Structure 1
Amino acid sequence: MRIGIAIPTYCNSEELRRCLLSIQRHAPSIANCITVVDDSGDGRVAAELQSEFPPVRWTIHESNDGFGASANDAVKACEADIVVLLNDDVQIACDPAAQLESVFRDPIVFAATLQSLHADGTFREGAKRLIWPMGIPRILHNPQDQKSPQDGLHTSDYAVGGHAAYRRDYFLKLNGFDPLFHPFYWEDVDLCIRARKQGYNTVYLPKCKVIHDGRSSIRSQHDAAYLRTITLRNRLLFAWRHLPPHLYAFHQMSLAYHRISARLLRDSEFTDAYFTARERQRALS
Structure 2
Amino acid sequence: MPDAILPAVSLVIPNFNGARLLGANLPAVLAAAAHYPGDCEIIVVDDGSTDDSVARLTREFPSVRLVQHAVNRGFAEAVHSGVEAAANECLVLLNSDVRPDADFIAPLIRHLQVPDVFAVAPLIVDGQGRPTDESWRGYEIRRRRLRPLKLGGRLPDRAVPTLFASGGSMAVRKSRFQALGGFHPIYQPFYWEDIDLGLRAWRRGWRSLFEPGCRIVHDHSDSSIKRHVRAARIQRIGRRNKFLFEWIHLSPEALQQVIPGYAVQALTRLLRLDFVYLGGLYAALRRLPEVRALRRELAATSCLDYQAIVDTVREGLARAWTESQPAATPAGPLRETPDRRVSGEYPAGAGDRNPGS
- TM-score, scaled relative to structure 1: 0.91
Amino acid at match of 1:205: E
Amino acid at match of 1:73: S
What is the DSSP-based 3-state SS (H/G/I as helix, E as strand, rest coil) of the residue aligned with 2:60?
coil
Larger mean Cα displacement after TM superposition, 191-200 or 226-235: 226-235
1:87: Cα distance to partner? 0.7
Report % sequence identity.
Answer: 30
Which residue, 124, 127, 131 being the options, matches 1:116?
124
> 1:56-92 deviations in whole A, cap 9, x for unaligned?
1111112211111111221221222211111111111
Which residue, 266, 275, 279 being the options, matches 1:268?
275
1:144: Cα distance to partner? 3.2
1:32: Cα distance to partner? 4.4
Q: Which residue of 1 aligns with 2:92?
A: 84
Q: Contact conserved, 1:32 with 1:56, CA < 8 A, in 2?
A: no
Q: Map residues 246-261 of structure 1 onto 2, 5 A cutoff.
A: 246-261=253-268
Q: Kindly indicate whether residue 111 of structure 2 is the aligned counterpart of residue 103 of structure 1.
A: yes
Amino acid at match of 1:114: P
> 1:8-47 deviations in whole A, cap 9, x for unaligned?
1110111012221111234314584011111135584223
What is the DSSP-based 3-state SS (H/G/I as helix, E as strand, rest coil) of the residue aligned with 1:144?
coil
Q: Map residues 139-178 of structure 1 onto 2, 5 A cutoff.
A: 139-140=148-149, 142-144=150-152, 152-178=158-184
Distance across 2 between alignment mates of 1:261 and 1:112? 39
Q: Kindly indicate whether residue 72 of structure 2 is the aligned counterpart of residue 64 of structure 1.
A: yes
Amino acid at match of 2:204: Q
Q: Map residues 194-273 of structure 1 onto 2, 5 A cutoff.
A: 194-214=200-220, 215-273=222-280
Q: Which residue of 2 aligns with 1:190?
A: 196
Q: Map residues 24-39 of structure 1 onto 2, 5 A cutoff.
A: 24-29=30-35, 32-39=40-47
Amino acid at match of 2:43: T
Larger mean Cα displacement after TM superposition, 60-69 or 176-185: 60-69
In angstroms, what is the RMSD of aligned CA positions?
A: 2.2
Amino acid at match of 1:158: F
Q: Which residue of 2 aligns with 1:6?
A: 12
Is there any run of 5+ residues in structure 1 with no aligned partner, and where? none
Q: Contact conserved, 1:131 with 1:137, CA < 8 A, in 2?
A: yes
1:103: Cα distance to partner? 1.1
1:130: Cα distance to partner? 2.0
What is the DSSP-based 3-state SS (H/G/I as helix, E as strand, rest coil) of the residue aligned with 2:217?
strand
- TM-score, scaled relative to structure 2: 0.73
What is the DSSP-based 3-state SS (H/G/I as helix, E as strand, rest coil) of the residue aligned with 2:152?
helix
> 1:191-216 deviations in whole A, cap 9, x for unaligned?
00000000000000112111111123
Larger mean Cα displacement after TM superposition, 111-120 or 20-29: 20-29
Which residue, 44, 52, 69 being the options, matches 2:60?
52
Distance across 1 between alignment mates of 2:68 and 2:97? 19
Amino acid at match of 1:12: G
Is there any run of 5+ residues in structure 2 with no aligned partner, and where? 1-6, 294-357
Q: Contact conserved, 1:115 with 1:209, CA < 8 A, in 2?
A: yes
> 1:97-141 deviations in whole A, cap 9, x for unaligned?
32123211211000011111111222223111022335543322x
Structure 1 72/136 Cα, relative in aligned 2: closer, same or farther at 3 Å? Answer: farther
Amino acid at match of 2:93: L
Aligned length: 282
Q: Which residue of 2 aligns with 1:19?
A: 25
Distance across 2 between alignment mates of 1:35 and 1:199? 29
Structure 1 231/211 Cα, relative in aligned 2: closer, same or farther at 3 Å? Answer: same
1:219: Cα distance to partner? 2.9
Distance across 2 between alignment mates of 1:255 and 1:271? 11
Whichever of the two has the greater Rg, that structure is 2
Q: Which residue of 2 aligns with 1:180?
A: 186
What is the DSSP-based 3-state SS (H/G/I as helix, E as strand, rest coil) of the residue aligned with 2:59?
coil
Distance across 2 between alignment mates of 1:15 and 1:145? 28
Distance across 2 between alignment mates of 1:64 and 1:266? 33
1:281: Cα distance to partner? 4.3
Q: Which residue of 1 aligns with 2:48?
A: 40
Distance across 2 between alignment mates of 1:266 and 1:186? 25
